Amino acid sequence: MNTRVTYRVRLTPECLEMDGKRVAEAVAGESFLTQLYRMNKMDYPKFFKMDVLCKVGFLASEILLQAEGAERFVPRSDRAVILFNRNSSLHADRTFQQTIANPEDFYPSPSVFVYTLPNIVTGEIAIRNKYHGESSFILLPEKSQEAMNRAIARAFLDPETKSVLTGWVEAVSETEFEATMELVVSS
Amino acid sequence: MIVKKIGDSMMTPLGFSVEENFAAVMAGRSALRRYESLWGLPFPCVVSLIPDEKLETAFAQEVDTKNLSGKCTKFEKIVLLSAAKAVKQSGIDPSSERVVFILSSTKGNVALLADENPDLERVTPAHTAQMIANYFGNPNRPLTVSNACISGLCAQIEAYRCLKSGQYDTAVVIGADVLSPFIVAGFQSLKALSDEQCRPFSANRKGLNLGEAAAAVVYTVADDVADGWQMVAGAVRNDANHISGPSRTGEGSYRTLMTVLDESGLLANDLACLNVHGTSTLYNDEMEAIAITRAGLNQVPVNAMKGYYGHTLGAAGVLETLLTMRALEKGKIPATRGFDEIGVTMPVPVSSESVDTQKNAFVKLLSGFGGCNAAAAFVNGYGL
């Protein structure tokens, strides 16, 4: 199947790039992720409950889909969400570990535990957009565009999948993160 | 071109071979045990644990530690051991560039985080996957599928596509998870655990039990249908509803079932059984029954294996698929251990006794956090 990349965003702690052009930069003060949420006039309070991996993946997807400009929030199953990273949900894992490390101060929180799975971010994007198609999170030993391209090509073997929202989403702390996300469509 | 199983292995508290596990399941044995304060946790729980001593012995026998640097964790040991056994049985050359390794795990080495100075590089299952590839001298980047509880089925679907697309000729899929205070306390915080042995689909079910297991399967491409199991379809769909609760309409599971039936051409009457997730939580089993009914499969026998092993997380999809294959080879649909009285609003045929069958096809169904659902269809030999 022939496919092409339609839009691409890159989000780092310093800036946001759209199709290779810098469109926003972090300014001192509140976190860049919150700044982007406000800049894009999102009204989705669930965002503030998310862990950093979800916030990064969610924002990148929102910005990409706004650029796409298609009608949104209509149930569909022809779009897959397939994301990748190396370190899984390491930041949420470390946060949850802190809540159980001390028997004298044992307070495991369900709202933290639920984010200790990397595929929660694919679920957050599916919920937001009413995507009933495939959702998947794949871990790679290192960032590799080739390995990601191969996985995306395989995803199109699903008879319903006509486009894939995909990319690398890594967040090992509140201040160390990267998302490169693109929309790949069959042509 | 077909995708055929040529090797398998499993390691659970009920045995370190497929044969031992199948015999234990048919004898109605469960690996689930109650602990009043496992690892000092401040609540009782019912779990199944792989015994360390038995694991050490088997590991020393089967794994060539010369190919490893340093000491392995329990998780790494069960992954390596199950992979080594399945690779050996299949007779493949694991160092071939036409072979890909695919790992399924939800939490891998997360127990390492309890160390004073944890090796953070090693926590991710992607590290373990690379370790397996290195052990076998395989040059390809290994894949790790981490889709919560459906990972074991997703990994097989990924393998199926790796072969169907021509990217590789053979895939070694390993599903594994071990338990730790992290995982048990997490599920307890979600109020998902039962302090009794679980009772899938039963009226008085109280929640799930957790378990440790590893299972591996080797799939390869073949020209024609012959003896043995082949994977014929697989699909993953999202509920788009909630990150930690299943859809009330069974939306994602229903969609996976419809896609898999359509893709495989299988009809309800072709299926010996639906081997379902059946975690024994109120919502999961209810959701599965709704999805099955909506898909028109509510006359097909339904069975669940959590009563023998608990929920083995990233292993479940591989373990339960392999056990169903072995059972159907012997003309049996295993009993749903722990089941008593149907407790879902859409009644589906669940049995507390094993049932004889002549049919050679089944569908495996799973669902998980993140709203994800997976189904895959398997056929034995000419099958139909």
Domain identity same for B133 and B276? no
Closest Cα in chain B, distance from residue A31 (Å): 24
Chain B hits for A96, CB-CB cut-off 8 Å, are 182, 186
pLDDT at B384 over 60: no
Q: What percent of chain A has pLDDT over 70?
A: 100
Q: Which residues of A touch B179 (CB under 8 A)?
A: none
Answer whether residue B122 shows pLDDT above 80. Answer: yes
- Are residues B175 and B62 part of one domain? yes
Coil, strand or helix at A147:
helix
B173 has which bridge partners?
B102, B217
Res. B224: pLDDT tops 80: no
For residue B280, give the CATH number of its domain: 3.40.47.10
Structural domains in chain A, sorted by start = 3-186 (3.40.47.10)
Which A residues 69-98 touch B at CB under 8 Å?
A: 75, 77, 81, 86-88, 90, 93-94, 96-97
Nearest alpha carbon to residue A140 among B127, B256, B325, B281: B127
- Check whether B342 has a pLDDT greater than 90: yes
- Contact call for residues B169 and B221 (beta carbons, < 8 A): yes
Shared domain check, B167 and B57: yes
**Whether B148 and A117 lie within 8 Å, measured CB to CB:** yes
Structure token pair of residue B308: 């023998």
Q: Report which secondary-structure segment, H or E, holds B210.
A: strand B210-211
- What's the token pair of residue A42? 């999102």
Q: Does B63 share its domain with B183? A: yes
Helix axes of B282-294 and B251-264: crossing angle, nearest 10 degrees: 40
pLDDT, tens digit (0-9, with 9 covering 90-100), for B265-324: 999 999 999 999 999 999 999 999 999 999 999 999 999 999 999 999 999 999 999 999
Give the length of chain B. Answer: 384
Q: Are residues B12 and B39 in the same domain?
A: yes
Task: Please tell me if residue A140 touches chain B, with a CB cutoff of 8 Å.
Answer: yes
Q: Domain tally for chain B?
A: 2
Contact between chains at A122 and B42 (C-beta distance less than 8 A): no
Asked if B165's CB is within 8 angstroms of A130's CB, the reply is: no
Give residue A29's pLDDT: 84
Cα torsion through B148, B283, B376, B297, rounded to 10 = 180
Question: DSSP readout, B254-272?
Answer: HHHHHHHHHHH---GGG-S
Q: What is the pLDDT of residues B248-258, one digit of tens each?
A: 999 999 999 99
3-class SS of residue A22: strand
B47 Rama sector, left if φ>0, alpha if ψ -120 to 50, beta otherwise: beta
Nearest to A117 among B123, B181, B370 (CB): B370
In terms of residue numbers, what domain contains B52?
Answer: 2-222
Determine contact: A1 vs chain B, CB below 8 A.
no
| Same domain for B55 and B23 | yes
Q: Do B243 and A127 touch (CB under 8 A)?
A: yes
* Contact criterion met (CB below 8 Å) for A131 and A79: yes
Q: What is the pTM of this model?
A: 0.98
Say whether both B123 and B138 belong to one domain: yes
Would you call A38 exposed, middle or buried from its count of C-beta atoms within 10 A (0-12, 13-18, 19+)? exposed
Q: What is the pLDDT of residue B382?
A: 65
* Å between A22 CA and nearest CA of chain B: 31
B309 shares its domain with B170? no
| Residue of B146, B162, B255 lying closest to A137 (CB–CB) | B146
Report the chain B residue with the minimal C-alpha distance to residue A114.
B244
- Comparing A92 with B70, the larger pLDDT belongs to A92
pLDDT reported for residue B348: 97
Whether residues B261 and B373 share a domain: the answer is: yes
The pLDDT of B130-142, averaged and rounded, is 97
Q: Span A36-59, mean pLDDT?
A: 96
CB spacing of A134 vs B239 below 8 angstroms: no
Q: Nearest chain A residue to B241 by CA: give it.
A: A127
Among B172, B201, B222, the domain-final residue is: B222
End position of a domain, from candidates B207, B222, B237: B222
Q: In this predicted structure, what is the pLDDT of residue A109?
A: 95
My answer on whether B211 and B312 are in the same domain is no
**Which segments within B94-162 are labelled E, that is strand?**
99-104, 143-145
Mean pLDDT of chain B, nearest integer: 96
Summarize chain B as % helix, strand, coil (round to 5): 35, 25, 40
- Which pLDDT does position B76 carry in this prediction? 98
Residues of A in contact with B144 (CB under 8 A): 138-140
- CA-nearest of A136, A90, A36 to B161 is A136
List residues bridging with B222 in a β-sheet: B2
Tell me, what's the pLDDT at B383?
55
Neighboring chain A residues of B40 at a CB cutoff of 8 Å: 103
Are residues B142 and B169 both part of a single domain? yes
Report the C-alpha gap between B226 and B96 in whole angstroms.
24
Distance from CA of B353 to the nearest CA of A (A): 35
Domain boundary pick from B187, B222, B257: B222
A107-121 average pLDDT score: 97
Tell whether B190 and B123 lie within a shared domain. yes
